[in-house]
Structure 1
């Protein structure tokens, strides 16, 4: 059974950091499957379901490019505590792997920091190189501070004013020598509301006070004019977000060699008795039409397709089988659109 944990708690984050890659189940022939006992077959199928849902991350061009930029920003942020470090923000539409890119980078950074500096700080505190929180649609100044305290397991996380929780969060970060802060789903910040403006200003305060490189992720930030805050009129001189945050966009795949390479890489991971090498690659065009170049939609389609192929005994992925698998509504809506009709994406672009 797949473990359950939250990356917004240090225990869950540490489990994610410490987890070793899964072992790929052996590919059995149809005769090998038939020779298994009932319990052995059930266990084997469970192992395959877990594998297909978690076989690892494929190094797409987007992942490699953004990772290199994050490494540059974090490694070069060596300013003394009295100076503000630059931040990075990963922007893009849903289902393109933004959170995955950040989590993988932060996981590797965490591992390296522990190897170099040990499990404890010089003062004997737990060394936690990275903290991670995800915002919600009703995040306020107090709840943001509370979430940071909860990540560290601070005993006072459930009580105190916003200012008291901010002081506790500051103490946690400093005591644990945290150097990277991940804040996901920043698109929930409404800078035109009172609470949203308070949260936005608090993020700037944290960047001023903490010796931490912040990495943010959000959906459609550019379209929401998230970076235009304060950049016009008499307040232009006070603008900070667009000056301090380096934006990286994770875009859709095009139907090109990169898409084909991605499908080929997935093809090699399938553990199905009747699957032939290259079979999935032959469906690259169909898969693009079904998912519109969204890697999240693609993975959902493949995972559910593999589950169904095992359950019904086909042990193979075909277009006919995938036609019976429903995925996210955006992809299904595009699927129903006649070929050649421009489809407007969430960002306003048209794709044929």
Structure 2
């Protein structure tokens, strides 16, 4: 998705849909593919991010003299940050293309959204090249960072990019010379490209991104959206149990009894630390296993047999002190 062609395919391909009553039964291969891709479970963070991005895009639409307001999506690993970012980007892409369809017989589709990953230990030139690669802007080894940046700003404005999503922003460290130059490049891009910038990264507020003069500038322009772990209880509500119910409703298993997984909410919260990424991975793996072994249902016993990501497993089975 870090090229325009890949992003367009992602944004315009209908997302997976859960089974609906009365529809023909799906084949085994179709159900395996469905649980591999799976649905995006709507969360409060996704709703907040979508609403805030839409508001900031309107707020900065006619702003000319300074950088437009931006947004940072932060939280621990496996908390659903990238999922929220991509869902918001797809929503923006589809809304824009509905409102501004390309002229008849035009071969150029609108380019409302760009999605860029910050490379590890990225230099300013490397990050500028990533921006260029997204739109297929030719870059040669002899081009300077300034030349690449000029080409990026001109092309992004010319093609009408309105929303720029920058993922893995925690890889950027302004305390190093290279990181400081890269942070300065981002500031330059926000002032020269007529778009709203949204960043996503792991625990961004605890990194060097918010330190020093550059950090103060970023903090003064960016709002925060937290993608945190789901609490077991919040007042009278049980957000994690509600999340489990939403995931279970989307399953396509022939013998699974609705309500089974919410009954194990305490176990699942302990197993995943309340992280949506770990939870959906655990349940999807259990569903695929249930299809393969013919049981067609998920139980606590079958969940125990699934090996999760190391972060979740470490939380679930901490190493004893010696």
Q: If the length of structure 2 is used for normalisation, what is the TM-score?
A: 0.90
Provide, for residues 280-318 of structure 1, a one-character-per-residue CA deviation record: whole Å limited to 9, x for no partner: 222222111110100010011011111111112221101
**Partner of 2:188: helix, strand, or coil?**
helix
Q: What is the CA-CA distance between 1:80 and the residue it aligns to?
A: 3.4
**Partner of 1:204: helix, strand, or coil?**
helix
Q: Give the counterpart of 2:310 among 318, 329, 337.
A: 329
Q: Which residue of 1 aligns with 2:246?
A: 265
**Partner of 1:144: helix, strand, or coil?**
helix
**Partner of 1:240: helix, strand, or coil?**
helix
**Partner of 2:204: helix, strand, or coil?**
coil
Q: Which of 1 and 2 has greater Rg?
A: 1
Compared with structure 1, are the counterparts of its residues 326 and 280 closer, same or farther at alpha carbon in structure 2 (3 Å cutoff)?
same
Gaps of 5+ in 2: none
**Partner of 1:222: helix, strand, or coil?**
helix
- Correspondence 1:243 to 2:220: yes
Q: Which residue of 1 aligns with 2:11?
A: 17
- C-alpha separation between the residues in 2 aligned to 1:158 and 1:287? 51
- Correspondence 1:315 to 2:296: yes
Alignment of 1:169-318 (within 5 A): 169-230=152-213, 239-256=216-233, 257-318=238-299
Moved more, 67-76 or 281-290: 67-76
RMSD between superposed Cα atoms in Å? 2.6
Q: What is the CA-CA distance between 1:158 and the residue it aligns to?
A: 6.5
Compared with structure 1, are the counterparts of its residues 159 and 95 closer, same or farther at alpha carbon in structure 2 (3 Å cutoff)?
farther
Moved more, 19-28 or 151-160: 19-28
Moved more, 192-201 or 98-107: 98-107
- Correspondence 1:137 to 2:120: yes
* Equivalent residues, number: 314
- C-alpha separation between the residues in 2 aligned to 1:80 and 1:26? 46
Contact 1:272–1:316, Cα closer than 8 Å, also in 2: yes
Q: What is the CA-CA distance between 1:118 and the residue it aligns to?
A: 2.4
Q: If the length of structure 1 is used for normalisation, what is the TM-score?
A: 0.83
Q: Which residue of 2 aligns with 1:109?
A: 92
Q: What is the CA-CA distance between 1:26 and the residue it aligns to?
A: 7.4
Compared with structure 1, are the counterparts of its residues 163 and 61 closer, same or farther at alpha carbon in structure 2 (3 Å cutoff)?
same
Gaps of 5+ in 1: 1-6, 34-42, 232-237, 342-352
